């Protein structure tokens, strides 16, 4: 069964035994929990669209392992065309959900792990790549949602992992056995963790020899013994408990993050893909980060499309759509959004094959893409809030709108253009609020800053890959300078 349906995906989650804490309580049924359910719906869309003939070219691919049609989220990029289709797929899903659809991290993780394990084996004579390929084949056959887990809590950022006061602030090996390893620690900000079948763990930074126990990569079932989750808070998240469909903004979809804790979790050797090879930890981080920074040129653009559309509707409903400054602000929002998309497409189009055959994006352009993402969505959101007006954050609740007495007052005083029902005006303003300030802001506004690395992380990579010395040589050639630089 290479491609699951959305219903099959939901059923597969129901069969799992997650241990999830949400607001201090153990969740018995995460699939139907009103706070978690919208995020599951977003992942479910990745399965539904893969079964829709209209989107088959973007949502599916042919496995290089089996020749079978598979969900693109389980695919290793075999060409620049694959890299471009990935970005287009992500934009499509952002348009369909206006939220984080959560499978990108796992897709980026498998593509990074493939080439790095291949190169480790070539140098050390290990069999990590064979193990990884076996895991990937199972992932494709079962159409698993895999959560890529990279970010450790880190503790004191001035200290390497082995010098932390608490060794568990980075995931590490605490025991090596004949049949596998035992790990402890945690991964923070884990997107889609409780909607995943498996977890693919990677180290979070480049490491020295003293950090060998922390240079570990492995796969584990998301509900394995010893793994539990503490679900992250989001702005306005308890609105999902109120039973309405207006105040939540996005009535069906959402995203989530969680702290994932490993409490003496056993990992058999067949699922271990790095164990002590510190010199390759940085390479795995760099390639995963590059792929994930490419991703933001797709997913954030798709959500941006929805936000721009919602803002244009707000202008219509406010009776302000013909104002020249409103038109100009919508143009600027579109310009910024398409610039993000252009970077995502550019770094994909200039990809190249790694030693394993899997294609890697142009890392410089991927980092430029993400650097822009740390800025442009903030300006897009600012302009959306400008056009929407203050009512976006001051209007009463939908319970007031439905109230038998004061509902008429709400209808009377919150009317914009008379031909537009007040409920529709409220719905579009709540959607803008949701994307810019509410639960979706985790997957749009704030994640644009910190997801796939903070802005400084991209600037470091841009400095490394920017080719300053080569550019100096170009200038010297043009200027007729022969002597070497000081």
CA distance 119 to 388: 52
Verify whether residue 299 is a known catalytic residue: yes
Q: Residue 5: which residues within 8 A CB-CB, separation 6 or more?
A: 47, 48, 51
Confirm if 215 and 170 have CB atoms less than 8 A apart.
Answer: no
Verify whether residue 100 is a known catalytic residue: yes
**One of 189, 197, 256, 292 is an active-site residue; which one?**
292
**CA-to-CA separations, 320 to 32, 43, 293, 344, in angstroms, rounded:** 41, 36, 36, 33
Verify whether residue 236 is a known catalytic residue: no
**One of 10, 46, 117, 257 is an active-site residue; which one?**
257
Phi-psi region of 429 (alpha: psi -120 to 50; beta: other; left: phi over 0): alpha
**One of 191, 204, 311, 436 is an active-site residue; which one?**
191
Verify whether residue 292 is a known catalytic residue: yes
Computed on alpha carbons and rounded to an integer, the radius of gyration of the chain in Å comes to 24
Phi-psi region of 357 (alpha: psi -120 to 50; beta: other; left: phi over 0): left
Distance of CA 68 to the CA centre of its chain: 26
CA distance 426 to 320: 16
Confirm if 220 and 199 have CB atoms less than 8 A apart.
Answer: yes
Q: Which two tokens stand for residue 185?
A: 């620690």
**One of 296, 317, 341, 444 is an active-site residue; which one?**
296
Confirm if 75 and 107 have CB atoms less than 8 A apart.
Answer: yes
**One of 74, 104, 184, 347 is an active-site residue; which one?**
104
Confirm if 175 and 182 have CB atoms less than 8 A apart.
Answer: yes
CA distance 100 to 383: 21
Confirm if 444 and 94 have CB atoms less than 8 A apart.
Answer: no
DSSP 117: H
**One of 275, 299, 343, 347 is an active-site residue; which one?**
299
Verify whether residue 104 is a known catalytic residue: yes
**One of 47, 74, 100, 231 is an active-site residue; which one?**
100
Cβ burial 180-189 (10 Å sphere, 16+ → b, else e): bbebbbbbbb
**One of 119, 286, 433, 447 is an active-site residue; which one?**
447
Q: How many CB atoms lie within 10 A of CB 170?
A: 27
Task: With CA atoms as reference, report the closest residue to 287 among 354, 336, 222, 188.
Answer: 354
Catalytic residues: 100, 104, 191, 257, 292, 296, 299, 447
């Amino acid at each position: 069964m290479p491609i699951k349906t959305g219903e099959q995906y939901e059923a597969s989650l129901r069969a799992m035994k997650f241990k999830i804490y949400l607001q201090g309580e153990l969740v018995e049924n995460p699939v139907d929990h009103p706070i978690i359910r919208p995020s599951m719906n977003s992942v479910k869309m990745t399965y539904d669209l893969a079964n829709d003939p209209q989107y088959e070219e973007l949502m599916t691919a042919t496995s290089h392992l089996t020749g079978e049609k598979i969900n693109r989220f389980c695919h290793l990029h075999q060409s620049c065309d694959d890299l471009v289709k990935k970005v287009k797929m992500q934009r499509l899903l952002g348009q369909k959900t206006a939220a984080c659809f959560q499978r990108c991290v796992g897709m980026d993780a498998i593509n990074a792990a493939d080439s790095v394990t291949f190169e480790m084996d070539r140098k050390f004579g290990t069999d990590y790549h064979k193990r990884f390929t076996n895991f990937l084949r199972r992932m494709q056959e079962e159409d698993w949602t895999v959560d890529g887990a990279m970010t450790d809590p880190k503790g004191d950022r001035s200290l390497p992992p082995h010098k932390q006061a608490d060794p568990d602030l980075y995931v590490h090996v605490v025991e090596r056995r004949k049949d596998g390893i035992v790990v402890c620690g945690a991964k923070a900000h884990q997107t889609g963790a409780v909607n995943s079948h498996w977890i693919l763990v990677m180290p979070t930074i480049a490491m020295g020899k003293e950090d060998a126990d922390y240079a570990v990569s492995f796969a584990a079932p998301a509900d394995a013994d010893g793994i539990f989750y503490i679900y992250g808070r989001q702005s306005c998240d308890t609105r999902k408990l109120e039973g309405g469909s207006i105040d939540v903004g996005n009535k069906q979809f959402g995203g989530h993050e969680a702290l994932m804790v490993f409490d003496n979790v056993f990992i058999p050797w067949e699922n271990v893909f790095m164990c002590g090879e510190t010199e390759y930890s940085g390479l795995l981080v760099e390639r995963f980060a590059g792929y994930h920074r490419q991703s933001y040129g797709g997913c954030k653009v798709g959500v941006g499309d929805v936000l721009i559309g919602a803002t244009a509707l707000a202008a219509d409903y406010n009776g302000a759509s013909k104002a020249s400054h409103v038109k100009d602000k919508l143009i600027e929002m579109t310009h910024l959004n398409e610039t993000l998309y252009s970077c995502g497409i550019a770094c994909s189009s200039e990809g190249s094959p790694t030693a394993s055959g899997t294609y890697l994006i142009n890392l410089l352009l991927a980092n430029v893409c993400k650097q822009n993402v740390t800025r442009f969505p903030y300006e897009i959101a600012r302009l959306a809030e400008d056009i929407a007006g203050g009512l976006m954050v001051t209007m009463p609740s939908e319970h007031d709108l439905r109230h038998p007495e004061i509902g008429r007052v709400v209808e009377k005083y919150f009317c914009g253009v008379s031909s537009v029902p007040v409920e529709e005006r409220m719905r579009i303003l709540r959607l803008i609020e949701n994307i810019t300030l509410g639960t979706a802001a985790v997957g749009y506004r704030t994640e644009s800053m910190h997801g796939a690395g903070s802005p400084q992380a991209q600037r470091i990579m841009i400095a490394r890959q920017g080719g300053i010395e080569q550019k100096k040589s170009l200038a010297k050639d043009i200027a007729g300078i022969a002597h070497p630089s000081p």
